[in-house]
Chains A and B, each alone.
Chain A
Amino acid sequence: MPAQVITVTSGKGGVGKTTAVANLAVALATSGSKVVCIDGDIGLRNLDVILGLENRIVYDIVDVIEGRCRLKQAMIRDKKTPNLYLIPAAQTRDKNAVSPSDMNRLIKDLRADCDYVLIDSPAGIERGFRNAIAAADRVIVVTNPEISAVRDADRVIGILEAEDKGPGELVINRLNPKLVKKNDMLSPEDVLDLLAIELIGIVPEDENVIISSNRGAPVAYDPKSRAGQAFRNIARRIKGETVPFLDLESQGNLWERIQRLAGRK
C-alpha cells in the first residue's frame, strides 16, 4: 500500500511541531511501520538534533531536488529504530530553494517505499508552509492552550480549508492540567470550541520532553513519560485505532471534562 503523507504544522513557531514529528515518527516506527520524516524547515533545521542524527548528515533535501544525490542517499537511517529514516533540511539555503512541485515529485518517489511520510512544516504561512502541505494526504495542526497559538492555528486551518487540505486534526500540546483546573489556562474543551476541528491528541506539559531532546532520544521511547504516552496514543489514532484520551490528572477532574468532550453537542 502506498504511504500516507502527514504534514505537521501550526502557524506559530515554538509550539512543538518538530517534537511532535520526532515523537510520532518514533512511535509509528517502533510499532512496526516504515517511516520517513522530512524536515521542511530549510535554513533552520532541527529535526536532526531532536532525533539525535545531526552527525550523520551527508546529503539533504535540496541536494536531492537539485540532483546532487539520489533520494536513498539523503535518507539517514535512525540509530535506534532501523525502520525510521530522516531526510534533513538544508541549513545554508532558504525556503525558495524548494517549490511545491519539487515536493510533490520527491514524495511521489517516496510513497511506494514506506508506510508513512511525516513532514515537519516550518512556522508561518509562506513558501515553506506551502511546500510542506503540497503533497499532504492528512494535516495535523499543533497548538498550545494559549491565545496566540490558538489564533495562529485558526489562520492555518482556514488556509488548509481553502487549499482543500481539509481542516486538519488538532494536537493540543503542553497542556498544564493544574492551570486548567484553576481556570487559568484554556481547557481542551475551550480550544475545540474555538477551532471547531477534530481532536487527535492532548499532550501534557512534561519536563521529560526537554530532557529527552537534550539527549537526542525522543520522549516516545520513555515508557514512563506522560508526554511520551500521549504521543504513542496519537500514533495509534493515526493508524486508525480508537484510543481514549489520557487521564491527565490522576484525580480525574480533567478527565471528566475530556469525557464530556466525547459527547459534546
Chain B
Amino acid sequence: MNFFERLFGKKNSADSAKERLQLVLIHDRTDLTPAELDSLRDDLIATISRHVAIDAQGVQIDVEHDGRSQRLVADIPLKAARRRKRKIK
C-alpha cells in the first residue's frame, strides 16, 4: 500500500482478505445460503409471533463462530418490552 492509498483511507489488502474469508467460511462451514437464512428468519418470525408480539423489522439472525464451532444467534426485539422501556424514560 502506498502513501496515497493510505491518505485516502484504502484498506490494507490483508484486512480485506481476512474480512472476506470470515464471511465465506461461515457459509462454507454451515452450508446455509443467505436465501436459506432468510427463509429461516421468516419461519422464526411467524412462529414466535404466534406467542408474543415482536418487532419483525428488528429481527437479526446471524451465524457466529467461536473457534471451530458455529452458533446461530437470533436477536428478536419484543414489542411489549420496547413500550415499557419508553415509559420509564
Of A13-21, A37-45, A79-87, A176-184, the one touching chain B:
A176-184
Q: How large is the interface on A (under 10, 10 to 19, 20 to 34, 35 or more residues)?
A: 20 to 34
Q: Inside 8 A of A158's CB, which chain B residues have their CB?
A: 28-29
Q: Are A190 and B28 in contact (CB under 8 A)?
A: no
The answer on a CB contact under 8 Å between A151 and B13 is: no
Interface residues in B1-40 (C-beta closer than 8 Å to A): 1, 12-15, 17-18, 20-22, 24-25, 28-29
Given A147-B21, A150-B21, is A184 in contact with B67 using a C-beta cutoff of 8 Å? no
In the complex the two chains form, is A183's CB within 8 Å of B25's CB?
Answer: no
Does B29 contact A154, Cβ atoms closer than 8 Å? yes
B12 partner, pick from A146, A147, A184, A196, beta carbons under 8 A: A184
B18→A186 contact, CB < 8 A: yes
How far does the alpha carbon of A180 sit from the alpha carbon of B15 in the complex, in Å? Answer: 11
Assembly CA distance A196 to B18 (angstroms): 13
Within 8 A of B (CB), among A138-171: 146-147, 150-151, 154-155, 157-158, 161, 167
Known: A147-B21, A150-B21, A183-B1. A190 touches B68 (CB 8 A): no
Q: Are B68 and A161 in contact (CB under 8 A)?
A: yes
Q: Which residue of A lies closest to B20 (CB)?
A: A147
**B1 partner residues in chain A, CB cutoff 8 A:** 182-184
Which of A146, A167, A196 has the most B CB atoms < 10 Å from its CB?
A: A196
Q: Contacts A151-B25, A154-B25; is A183 near B14 (CB within 8 Å)? A: yes
Instruction: Kindly report which residue of chain B lies nearest to residue A151, judged by CB atoms.
Output: B24
Instruction: Provide the residues of chain A in CB contact with B68, threshold 8 Å.
Output: 157, 161, 167, 196-197
Task: Let me know if A123 is at the binding interface, CB within 8 A.
Answer: no
Q: Per-residue 0/1 for A189-225: is the Cβ within 8 Å of any B Cβ (1 yes, 0 no)?
A: 0100110110000000000000000000000000000
Q: What's the nearest-Cβ distance from chain A to residue B83, in Å?
A: 40
Q: In the complex, A196 Cα to B68 Cα: how many Å?
A: 6
What 9 A-B pairs are tightest by C-beta distance, nearest first? A183-B12, A196-B67, A196-B68, A184-B13, A183-B14, A147-B17, A190-B18, A154-B25, A186-B14
* 6 intermolecular pairs with C-beta atoms under 8 Å apart: A147-B21, A184-B13, A185-B13, A186-B18, A190-B17, A190-B18
